[in-house]
């Protein structure tokens, strides 16, 4: 978002301008709460505001809904059904919703889906996941400092944050010889990303709100038969610099060593993906041809979707033969952004 827009939103916030209702939400860094533009609470200083154009972003950034202006459940803005479900999530924000939970509330899951989509631009399940991830990530971010301090004075495993992290990342190691991966959080212009690595190589890089991320992490944990804890390793430290360069258009090829977990077919597809140059695109069909499996277009597309190293293995550079974008794990809007970004900084076009 451009700075002028932030200032515009800030003026609307000071004026409690109801014309901006639903246009933006404001997260207050000092309290960790997010509000509607018209909230009656005292207005924060500009430098303490973070503006969001949708609820999901505010939740993923770990903000809690304000109790006064009820940005998610205000009666004049949402249907009774949406309100009921938002309240139910707040009672237990870490719950994973199953079909029977809807039945218990006498709510039709598909109606809930439709109404959430209409009001918040995301399904109820995505909403609940955003809230859950936001909480866990807030605990991880706070706890990161705690655990680093603890590591300095010797390992101590009792902090509450470790429990939160374990719920997403898997159990903390109980034995010293357990294989150990570390996870770091990075803020990018396209939203937060999480990366997982050991001392030598990267295993995963994904947008935090990627659908199925928790499952992906869990699968990784099972594959390594080990634990994933927050922290930094050399590949993660270098990656942070590389991501900054990537997003500023000065880095076109990630140099980090990577560790691929997948079938030999998947690995061939991923290798071929790495050979698509910056700023260019290929169709799924062309990818299948590139690995000499011209009839396996579907399998190629699904290997493409199973990529766990976003950006580094540039699966966003594969589009439909028709020229349409096709899908993207991190969302089609991000795919479009990445392709535009790479075209803008493409040296071949100069
Ligand atoms: Zn408020």
pLDDT digits (tens, 9 = 90+) for 174-186: 555 677 888 887 7
Per-residue pLDDT tens over the stretch 323-343: 888 888 877 888 888 999 998
**Which pLDDT score, from 0 to 100, does residue 34 have?**
94
Helix axes 124-152, 109-120, angle to 10 degrees: 70
Find the mean pLDDT for residues 2-12.
Answer: 87
Residues 198, 211: Cα–Cα separation, whole Å: 24
**Which pLDDT score, from 0 to 100, does residue 77 have?**
75
Residues 307, 318: Cα–Cα separation, whole Å: 12
Give residue 156's pLDDT band: very low, low, confident or very high (50, 70, 90): very low
Residues 239, 297: Cα–Cα separation, whole Å: 32
Helix axes 109-120, 80-91, angle to 10 degrees: 100
- Note if 315 is an active site residue: yes
Give residue 347's pLDDT band: very low, low, confident or very high (50, 70, 90): low
Share of the chain above pLDDT 70, in %: 85
Q: Is 102 helix (H, G, I), strand (E, B) or coil?
A: helix
Please report the domains of the chain, with CATH numbers, ordered by start residue.
Answer: 3-129 (3.40.10.10), 264-349 (1.10.10.10)
Q: Is the pLDDT of residue 49 over 90?
A: yes
Residue 110 alpha carbon to ligand 1 centre in Å = 30
Residue 138 alpha carbon to ligand 1 centre in Å = 20
Nearest partner of 219 among 261, 163, 256, judged by Cα? 261
Per-residue pLDDT tens over the stretch 263-300: 999 999 999 999 999 989 999 999 999 999 888 899 99
Residue 35 alpha carbon to ligand 1 centre in Å = 4
Could you please report the per-residue DSSP string of 13-71? HHTT-GGGTTT-EEEETTTTEEE-TT--SPPPPGGGEEEESSHHHHHHTTPEEPTTT-T
Active-site pick, 35, 49, 66, 315: 315
Residue 65 alpha carbon to ligand 1 centre in Å = 8
Q: Is the pLDDT of residue 159 over 50?
A: no
Q: Is 334 helix (H, G, I), strand (E, B) or coil?
A: helix
Contact 193, 208 (CB under 8 A): yes
Nearest partner of 82 among 107, 111, 116, judged by Cα? 116
Q: Each residue of 28-45: b (16+ CB within 10 Å) or e?
A: beeeebbbbbbbeeebbe
For 252: left if phi > 0, alpha if psi spans -120 to 50, otherwise beta; the answer is alpha
Residues 284, 290: Cα–Cα separation, whole Å: 10
Q: Is the pLDDT of residue 35 over 90?
A: yes
Residue 331 alpha carbon to ligand 1 centre in Å = 29
Residue 165 alpha carbon to ligand 1 centre in Å = 28
CB atoms within 10 A of CB 211: 14
Report the length, in residues, of the chain: 350
**Which pLDDT score, from 0 to 100, does residue 58 have?**
87
Share of the chain above pLDDT 90, in %: 34
Instruction: Give the C-alpha distances (Å, rounded to integers) separating 157 from 146, 154, 196.
Output: 11, 10, 20
Residue 43 alpha carbon to ligand 1 centre in Å = 9
**Which pLDDT score, from 0 to 100, does residue 51 have?**
93
């Amino acid at each position: 978002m451009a700075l002028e827009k932030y200032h515009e939103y800030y003026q609307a916030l000071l004026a409690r301008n109801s014309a901006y209702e639903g246009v933006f939400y404001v997260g207050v860094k000092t309290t960790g709460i997010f509000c509607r533009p018209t909230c009656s609470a005292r207005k924060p200083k500009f430098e303490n505001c973070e503006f969001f154009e949708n609820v999901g972003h505010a939740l993923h950034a770990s903000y809690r809904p304000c109790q006064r202006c009820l940005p998610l459940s205000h009666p004049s803005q949402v249907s009774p059904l949406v309100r009921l479900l938002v309240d139910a999530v707040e009672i237990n924000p870490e719950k994973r919703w199953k079909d029977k939970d809807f039945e218990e509330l006498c709510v039709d899951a598909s109606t809930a889906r439709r109404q959430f989509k209409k009001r918040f631009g995301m399904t109820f399940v995505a909403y609940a996941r955003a809230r859950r991830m936001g909480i866990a990530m807030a605990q991880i971010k706070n706890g990161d400092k705690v655990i680093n301090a603890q590591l300095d004075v010797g390992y101590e495993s009792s902090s509450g944050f470790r429990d939160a992290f374990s719920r997403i990342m898997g159990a903390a190691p109980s034995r010293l010889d357990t294989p150990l991966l570390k996870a770091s959080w990075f803020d990018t212009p396209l939203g937060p990303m999480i990366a997982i690595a050991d001392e030598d190589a990267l295993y995963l890089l994904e947008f935090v709100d990627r659908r199925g991320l928790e499952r992906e992490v869990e699968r990784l944990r099972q594959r390594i038969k080990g634990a994933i804890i927050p922290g930094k390793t050399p590949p993660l430290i270098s990656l942070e610099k590389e991501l900054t360069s990537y997003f500023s258009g000065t880095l076109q090829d990630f140099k980090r060593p990577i560790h691929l977990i997948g079938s030999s077919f998947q690995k061939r597809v991923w290798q071929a993906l790495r050979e698509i140059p910056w700023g260019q695109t290929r169709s799924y069909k062309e990818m299948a041809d590139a690995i000499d499996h011209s009839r396996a277009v579907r399998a190629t597309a699904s290997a493409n979707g199973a990529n766990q190293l976003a950006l580094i293995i540039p699966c966003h550079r594969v589009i439909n033969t028709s020229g349409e974008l096709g899908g993207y794990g991190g969302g089609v809007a991000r795919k479009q952004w990445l392709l535009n970004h790479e075209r803008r900084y493409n040296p071949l076009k100069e």
